[in-house]
């Protein structure tokens, strides 16, 4: 697996890592560059952040979020990208609500941010790392950007799927059904 981290709220990382969701919605960070955000990596580690995170912006308070440690970063999960799609219809974005933990007003805020309404949606398969991976926090991991290069993971790290193959396939069908029902051209090709 490529040693790159995808920065996401710690609560969302936990929801992904516990099988509560299999999609990532992203508008993009301030420091994404001229071309803007894209899901440019097929495999990545979920890099939990506490920057901008506010528990009142997610629907599930029972997701236990580990406390922030300013000196060390801990990576517990990795993901592979099944497919991604740019959603430009608010009806589609709204219909995805059962598949994630963001509150509707947060999704709406992200959807409407800047002159081009829309969101990037990614369907991912999430894996639990054994053992969890911890390394020193450094200034180079900061900033408002989605992707960060990481050190090489330790030898012997194993990846275990969070969902069974059947659960993952069912979640994929659910996502594609929502998108196909709402998009004039149907669902994105996996």
Whether 88 is in a domain gets the answer: yes
Whether 105 is in a domain gets the answer: yes
Whether 189 is in a domain gets the answer: no
Angle at 20 between CA 17 and CA 21, to 5 degrees: 85
Instruction: Report the domain count for the chain.
Output: 1
E-strand stretches of 41-153? 43-49, 72-87, 119-136, 147-149
Whether 187 is in a domain gets the answer: no
Whether 144 is in a domain gets the answer: yes
Whether 124 is in a domain gets the answer: yes
Q: What is the pLDDT along the chain (190 residues), one digit of tens a residue?
A: 789 999 999 999 999 999 999 999 988 655 555 566 778 899 999 999 986 667 788 887 667 787 888 899 999 999 999 988 888 999 999 999 999 999 999 999 989 988 888 898 999 999 999 999 999 999 999 887 788 999 999 999 999 999 999 999 999 999 998 887 655 555 555 5
* Pairing of the two strands 43-49 and 4-9: parallel
Whether 190 is in a domain gets the answer: no
Distances (CA, A) of 24 to 6, 14, 42, 81, 96: 10, 12, 13, 10, 11
141 lies in which domain range? 4-182
């Amino acid at each position: 697996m490529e040693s790159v981290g995808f920065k996401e709220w710690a609560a969302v990382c936990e929801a992904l890592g516990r099988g509560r969701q299999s999609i990532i919605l992203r508008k993009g960070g301030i420091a994404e560059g001229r071309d803007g955000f894209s899901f440019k990596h097929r495999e990545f580690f979920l890099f939990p952040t506490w920057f901008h995170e506010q528990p009142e912006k997610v629907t599930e308070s029972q997701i236990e979020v580990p406390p922030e440690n300013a000196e060390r970063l801990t990576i517990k999960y990795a993901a592979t990208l099944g497919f991604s799609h740019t959603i430009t219809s608010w009806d589609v974005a709204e219909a995805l609500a059962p598949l994630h933990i963001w509150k509707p007003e947060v999704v709406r805020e992200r959807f409407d941010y800047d002159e081009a309404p829309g969101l990037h949606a990614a369907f991912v398969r999430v894996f639990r790392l054994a053992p969890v991976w911890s390394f020193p926090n450094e200034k180079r991991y900061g900033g408002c950007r989605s992707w960060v290069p990481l050190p090489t993971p330790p030898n012997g790290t194993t990846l275990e799927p969070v969902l069974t193959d059947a659960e993952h396939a069912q979640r994929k069908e659910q996502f594609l059904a929502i998108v196909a029902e709402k998009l004039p051209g149907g669902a994105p090709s996996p």
